Structure 1
Amino acid sequence: MTVLATPVALARARAAARREGRPWTFYALAGLFIFYVVALYGPMICIYVLSFQDVRGGLVFPMKGMSLHWFVDLFTQVRTGDVKGSFDRSIKLAVLVTAITVVVSFMAGLAFRRRFPGDTAVFYLMIGSLVAPGLVLGIGTGLLFNALGIETSWYTSALGAQLSWILPFGVLVMFAVMSRFNRVWEEAAWDLGASRWQTIWLVIVPIIAPGLIAVGLFGFTLSYDEFARTLQTAGSLNTLPLEIWSMTLNVTSPSLYALGTVTTIISFAIIGASLATIALIQRRRAEGGRPGGHA
């Protein structure tokens, strides 16, 4: 005979559990987690706080005053270098890498839905660059462009070096997205007379749009922060990660911290916009599936 627990019995059991206390493993794991969080976010928080000092500020605590002085000083290009130009180049390069990654990954996802001769070799060649050291791959890319007579720059050789690293990630993400795509919708579009291009643009792309946004976000963030593969391929003009690295050699003011704060805000803004777009798409789909909603 099964005895159902009453609310009173449950309350007594909870009270007894509280009196007994938690096992020591709980406190050990909680302490380990707290240490992990502090080690991960503590240095970042210190940088953000110190970037808001006034003109008397230094690179260490205690904090001296509070102002936006170092954010203004950051873009004067007198003491800190070409921050504005490097930021502009990094954004343009990241947008270009994102566009190419989304398009090529989407095409690869469509192509690999069916087997074709040599597909295994193509797949392993595509992801082979993931195991190559970034610095070595950057040097090889720079040497290749020099051998071809193409000047190394942030929009040629740096673009190629970054794509060799970012494209495989985008393709792997797209494979996961396409594996969940129900081809019944595609076949239904064909039955209704849609061409293959119409099926792709009006059926497949809207359905996998959150996945495409995820691939784009992946490509943008990896390109925006890429250092090793860009170091030997950017030419005479730095991208933002290279500019930050050079600043660590000659800048001894909180301007460096201010730059870290600005780049973090931009990264979070892009991530937030991408997540908001995905949430909006999902909400519209949910509303379209309700009675009275728009399909």
Structure 2
Amino acid sequence: MSEKRPRSFYVLAAVFALFVLFLYGPVITILILSFQGPQGGLTFPMNGFSVHWFEQLWQGAGLVDISIGLWNSLKLGLLVMVLTVVFSVMAGLAFRRRFRGSTLLFYTAIASLIMPSIIVSLGIALEFHIVDDTVMKIADAYDVEWLYDNYQTATGLFTSGLGAHLSWTLPFGLLIMFAVFNRFDKSYEEAARDLGATSWQTIRHVVLPMVAPSVVGVALFGFTLSWDELPRSSQAMGAANTLPIQLQALTTTVTTPMIYALGTVTTAISLLVIATALTTVFIVQKRRRRHGSDAGQGVV
């Protein structure tokens, strides 16, 4: 006889269901409304079912060219992802041993998490404005004409924008890699060195394969956090607009389900990145199990 579930189980299950609905309800609503018919509006009930608004989005009818913002966000997100992985892994390796100033450096690296994002963005923008003023003063002092003719601003997608996004993604990557390396068993590295492996070979063939799932997680954090970041982009991008900035502007001007279609497309891209990361982790773990099985058979 199975034990009957207490009433508290059903109460907690209902609360959890409401919580999940609260989290994903808006996404589901936007997904449904993006398939409104040509005469559909921004609210329920739906007026037909079609992909009309996706076609309009693709043609750019009635909107600014969102492909520019999409492409900017994609390029910036991929670069942020790569840099976040590289810096996080290097920092994780470096912090395995204490060194002078390590504690101060650690708290400095994660301090941006507790700062309001809009303030960080404004501070970065002001820093680059100071750079612009300094360059202009140098041009005035030394009468450098090519600076007057060619220099516009240091603020841009891959300068101030990149710095703003890294100030958001790097702390998460660092915390993940610090946690991973704090639990890492150094005996594997010692065994590799006993077998004649160099330091680089040990990192490449022993350390990195073992922490690969966590590295994929850092990459996922890096891209997704950059992909939908708005507050830190608002003041630091200069003339370049990312997709979240364009979306914010469109919410005040677009009165058709085309904005929902755009939201569905961007959500689909995020889900695709997540699926790619999970697939990569699955492949890495499968290869690791296969290599372990082959090694065990070789020993036998």
What's the CA shift for 1:191? 2.2
- Which of the numbers 72, 97, 104 marks the counterpart of 2:87? 104
**Structure 2 segments unaligned to the other structure (5+ residues):** 133-152
Structure 1 match to 2:97: 114
* Equivalent residue in structure 1 for 2:172, among 169, 172, 189: 169
| Structure 1: segments with no counterpart, 5+ residues | 1-10
Given residue 61 of structure 1, which amino acid in structure 2 is its aligned partner?
Answer: F
What TM-score does the superposition give when structure 2 sets the normalisation length?
0.88
After the TM superposition, which residues 272-283 of structure 1 pair with which residues of structure 2 at under 5 Å, given as runs?
A: 272-283=275-286
TM-score by length of 1: 0.89
- 2:154 counterpart residue number: 151
- How do 1:175-190 residues align onto structure 2 when only pairs under 5 Å count? 175-190=178-193
Which 4+ runs in 1 deviate beyond 6 A?
Answer: 292-295
Matched, 1:267 2:270: yes
The Cα RMSD (Å) is 1.7
Give runs of aligned pairs for residues 237-248 of structure 1, distance below 5 A.
237-248=240-251
Q: Is the 8 A contact 1:189 1:203 kept in 2?
A: yes
Contact 1:75/1:83 (8 A) holds in 2: no
Q: Does 1:139 align with 2:109?
A: no
Count of aligned pairs: 278
1:64 correspondence with 2:67:
no
User: Deviation per CA, 1:117-140, whole angstroms, max 9, x where unpaired?
Assistant: 111111111111111100000000
In the alignment, is the contact (CA less than 8 A) between 1:288 and 1:294 conserved in 2? Answer: no
**Residue 219 (structure 1) aligned to one of 218, 222, 239:** 222
Q: Distance in 1 between matches of 2:111 and 2:31?
A: 38
2:207 to 170, 187, 204: 204
Shift of 1:163: 0.7
Of the candidates 29, 32, 40, which is equivalent to residue 12 of structure 2? 29
Question: 127, 134, 138: which one pairs with 2:110?
Answer: 127
Distance 2:126 2:190 in 1: 48
Contact 1:102 1:170 in 2 (8 A): yes
Distance apart, 1:292 and its partner CA? 7.3
Higher relative contact order (CA 8 A, sep 6+): 2
Partner of 1:48: 31
Q: Secondary structure at the match of 1:54?
A: coil
Matched-pair identity in %: 49
**In structure 1, what is the Cα distance between the partners aligned to 2:294 and 2:160?**
53
